[in-house]
Amino acid sequence: MSLTDILKTERIIKVDEEEVLSSVLNKLGSSHDAAFVFSKKNKYLGVINPYYCLIKSSYPANAKVKHCLFHPPKIYLDTSLVKIASLMIESKVHYLPVFLDKNKEEFVGIISARRLLSYFKNLDLFKVKIAEVLKNKKPLVTIEENESIGKAINLFRKTHYSKLVVVNGGGKLKGVLSYFDLIAYLALPKTKEAAGDRKGEKISFLNLPVKNFTKTYVVVLKKDNFLSEVINLILEKKIGSVIIADKDKVPEGIVTTRDILQFFIQKNPSYEKSKNSTLQFGGFFKLKMI
């Protein structure tokens, strides 16, 4: 299968360069999402991505998107699927622009991680036990539901993860806390009228319990399930990860879209990673998009 078989050309989130950041971010749902920015003459300019706008940088909510652009790696119609998966991991963006070729950089559509997964689900490669993936991952990071948001944010920064698995006092699964879900509050613009109050508001917010912001709807599998089942659930439920728990609902791990992309890269013998493919991002703490 080639890129042209899974290229997305319709229902792309396209925005005008004069739109404001807050309006565009409301159209996105996770740190991986992207809106594609075009000029008045329909020329592709770049993307708006929550990670680069709000986590790596701190653009004001009323900034025009033309001043907040991120320039992700460019994909061409002859780019291999393994190379695309690698660039998605390196850039932390799961929606990348596709161009005709290097000589004629005409925007022809986008490729998404979900479209890659739609291809992966039919491969024998993914008919392996989830336990095989978990054994190569770092220990699961959890937080108790009654801990404060302030502690959760410190844990996000310490671990560099973008999601935390939430448990109750007995260690049983309660849901997932996403850093993206907290950004909406942390990134609110400060107004002069409210300047004296916002410090107190922020302190109050940081003292709130994690359970107030936890997504309790999570999909759970066991370690003996197959990785292909994870892919099918991510596609069917339109989610980014699946929690792995034992029979007593004690979480043992998490398998994410990133893990699936990484597994595809590692198991594809035809791919040799280019020394020049690694993208350099400096400065801010980096969240691993688990």
In this predicted model, what pLDDT tens digit does every residue of 196-231 receive, in sequence order?
555 556 568 889 999 999 999 999 999 999 999 999
Cα 132 from Cα 221, distance rounded (Å): 14
The predicted pLDDT at position 32 comes to 87
Kindly tell me if the per-residue pLDDT of 289 is higher than 50: no
Domain with CATH 3.10.580.10 in the chain: 3-120, 124-266
pLDDT of residue 89: 94
Class of the 3-120 domain? alpha beta
**Can you give the pLDDT at residue 38?**
97
Summary mean pLDDT of the chain: 86
Task: Specify the pLDDT at position 156.
Answer: 86
Is the pLDDT higher at 231 or at 287? 231
pLDDT of residue 201: 63
Give the pLDDT score at 31: 83
286 falls in which pLDDT band (50, 70, 90)? very low
Q: Sheet holding 173-178: strands in order across? A: 142-144, 163-167, 173-178
Give the pLDDT confidence score for residue 177 in this predicted structure.
95
pLDDT, mean of residues 159-185: 89
Tell me yes or no: is domain 124-266 CATH 3.50.50.60: no
Within 10 angstroms of residue 221's Cβ, the number of other Cβ atoms is 18
Say if residue 194's pLDDT is above 70: no
pLDDT band at 183 (very low <50, low <70, confident <90, very high): confident
User: What is the average pLDDT across 238-248?
Assistant: 95
pLDDT mean over 6-35: 93
Residue type, 154: N
The SS3 of residue 286 is coil
Is a pLDDT exceeding 60 seen at residue 141? yes
| Exposed/middle/buried for residue 8 (C-beta within 10 Å: 0-12, 13-18, 19+) | middle
pLDDT of residue 50: 87
pLDDT band, very low/low/confident/very high, at 13 (cuts 50, 70, 90): very high
pLDDT, residue 119, reads 93
- Residue pLDDT, tens place only, 26-46: 898 888 899 999 999 999 999
Q: How confident is the model at residue 269 (pLDDT cuts 50, 70, 90)?
A: low
User: What pLDDT does residue 29 have?
Assistant: 83
In 10 A of CB 206, how many CB atoms?
17
pLDDT band (50, 70, 90) for residue 276: very low
